[in-house]
Amino acid sequence: EVWLVESGGGLVQPGGSLRLACTASGFAFDQFAMAWFRRAPGRKEREGVAIVKTTDGTTYYSDSAEGRFTISCDSSKNTVYLEMNGLKLEDTAVYYCGALRGGPYGTDWYKYVYDYWGHGIQVTVSS
């Protein structure tokens, strides 16, 4: 059975930091790319935030995440992380971890149909 379990969310003040983690089980972690998406309040669709290829560490970021967020993975722990710094009010969202079977994707990584999803975790940025 496949599991993606997110942790590390919560309430933080503007300018603060949070580190999300997503631990996977039930599939070959090192054969997938791992990504973070988010759904802001009132939005129907998820927005791609960042992705990391577990095979070689290649990363891509959305424009809103570039320079503030860092995605990384630890294959020995089947875990992907999202370090978020300089958080803004507009970063408030439910954050989801997704797994994408390896493929020749690039800057269009967020358009693909992902194989597995976590249930999401709330991140609230508020003063």
In this predicted model, what pLDDT tens digit does every residue of 41-86 receive, in sequence order?
999 999 999 999 998 899 999 999 999 999 999 999 999 999 999 9
Percent helix, strand, coil in the chain, to 5, is 5, 50, 45
pLDDT at 117 over 80: yes
Cβ atoms within 10 Å of 17's Cβ, excluding its own:
11
The distance from CA 26 to its chain's CA centroid, rounded to whole angstroms, is 19
DSSP helix/strand/coil, 13: coil
User: Are residues 116 and 4 in contact, defined by beta-carbon separation less than 8 angstroms?
Assistant: yes
**The pLDDT value given to residue 104:** 66
Counting residues of the chain whose pLDDT is more than 70, the rounded percentage is 98
* Mean pLDDT score of the chain: 95
pLDDT at 106 over 90: no
Q: Which two tokens stand for residue 6?
A: 């997110």
**The pLDDT value given to residue 66:** 96
